[in-house]
Amino acid sequence: MPNSSARRAALTGVCLAAVIGVAGLTGACGVRPTAAAGAPVIIPPVTTTSASSTPPATEVRPEPGPVPSKQGRLDPRPLVAAAAAAEPNTTLGAVVFDRGTGTELLAVEPDRQFRSASLVKLLIAVDALGRGANATTRNKIARMLSMSDDDIASELWVQDDGPRLVTRMAKLIGLRATEPPETYGRWGDTMLTARDVVRVYQFVMDSLPPEDHTLIVDALAQAPEYAADDFRQYFGIPDGLNAQWAIKQGWSNNDHTMVLHSTGLVGAKWRYVVVLLTEHPLGSGRARCAKSVTAAASALDQQLGSV
């Protein structure tokens, strides 16, 4: 059933990372701070081969910094300012898409690539369902999405050909800037953009068989406050927007940066797709980074009700 989150004054999230895997794999919602960036963790399955083996508001004169897209009706500058007030070094990538009108209402760095963290689990889910998942696997997919379970993600990643899964899904969905990780097991290092995340949600809502669409949306709408790794995943959309939501969050770090993402379906009949991607210098503070995402969502909330 759809969730509606109460606003909260502060977030306590922990930017955990997970060394994940079927036998200790990495790519989670996060990478443990002590893990070496790019270090291989999942060993590809061994196979035997032969030797050859997705009415404008009052027009504003463009100024330095993000401005509304040509299609936009919402001003992105309050989101950028709010995120930066919480964490000055925040890099924000955001898109708000109105499914009812087919209109992009807001865009901030919509084509900039970010590390996906657990957002790649949406692709893992679509791919596994498309391969004819049985009842047991369908239950695992639901848990992977709602609880952001890294072990299940790693299991399915290996079963579904790892990086080739990303390439396959990019072609199927029409993703324009989504790329697999350089290291086989680091699925959280998949690269994607805010606009590509919107395209994934559009595909889920408009192109999947009803039973698969329902499984994914219900899992996202039932996401609990704390994920499988005990990270508090109610930052961003749940804490910042006064609306129904179905969310997929992401959090991760490598040796240089941290990413915290809040994405999902928002509003009655899931009218909007909201994507808030953020990147921060390592050491920015986990709680502060989470607050920056929530601050951007709160700034959006002040505008979204007027659309």
CATH number, domain containing residue 203: 3.40.710.10
- The string of pLDDT tens digits covering residues 188-244 is 999 999 999 999 999 999 999 999 999 999 999 999 999 999 999 999 999 999 999
Q: What total of structural domains would you count in the chain?
A: 1
> Is the model's pLDDT at 129 over the cut of 80?
yes
Look at residue 259 and tell me if it is in a domain. yes
Report the C-alpha gap between 292 and 295 in whole angstroms.
5
Look at residue 73 and tell me if it is in a domain. yes
Report the C-alpha gap between 43 and 61 in whole angstroms.
53
> Is the model's pLDDT at 182 over the cut of 90?
yes
- Return the pLDDT at 13: 40
Look at residue 127 and tell me if it is in a domain. yes
- The string of pLDDT tens digits covering residues 132-146 is 999 999 999 999 999
- Return the pLDDT at 305: 81
- Return the pLDDT at 27: 47
Mean pLDDT of the chain: 84
Look at residue 1 and tell me if it is in a domain. no
- Return the pLDDT at 38: 36
What percent of the chain is modeled with pLDDT above 70? 77
- The string of pLDDT tens digits covering residues 237-270 is 999 999 999 999 999 999 999 999 999 999 999 9
Count Cβ atoms below 10 Å from residue 32 Cβ, excluding itself: 13
- Return the pLDDT at 266: 98
Look at residue 189 and tell me if it is in a domain. yes
- Return the pLDDT at 253: 94
- Return the pLDDT at 286: 87
Report the C-alpha gap between 287 and 228 in whole angstroms.
18
> Is the model's pLDDT at 70 over the cut of 80?
no
- Return the pLDDT at 297: 98
> Is the model's pLDDT at 52 over the cut of 90?
no
Look at residue 129 and tell me if it is in a domain. yes
> Is the model's pLDDT at 181 over the cut of 80?
yes
- Return the pLDDT at 268: 96
Q: Give the range of the structural domain holding residue 223, as residue numbers without chain letter.
A: 24-29+66-304
Look at residue 7 and tell me if it is in a domain. no
Q: Which of 14-23, 65-74, 232-241 has the highest mean pLDDT?
A: 232-241
pLDDT confidence tier of residue 33, bands split at 50, 70 and 90: very low
Look at residue 175 and tell me if it is in a domain. yes
- Return the pLDDT at 306: 73
Nearest to 260, CA basis, from 35, 11, 68, 15? 15
- Collect all residues with Cβ–Cβ distance below 8 Å to 130 and sequence separation of at least 6: 172, 212
- Return the pLDDT at 65: 42
H/E stretch holding 265: strand 257-266
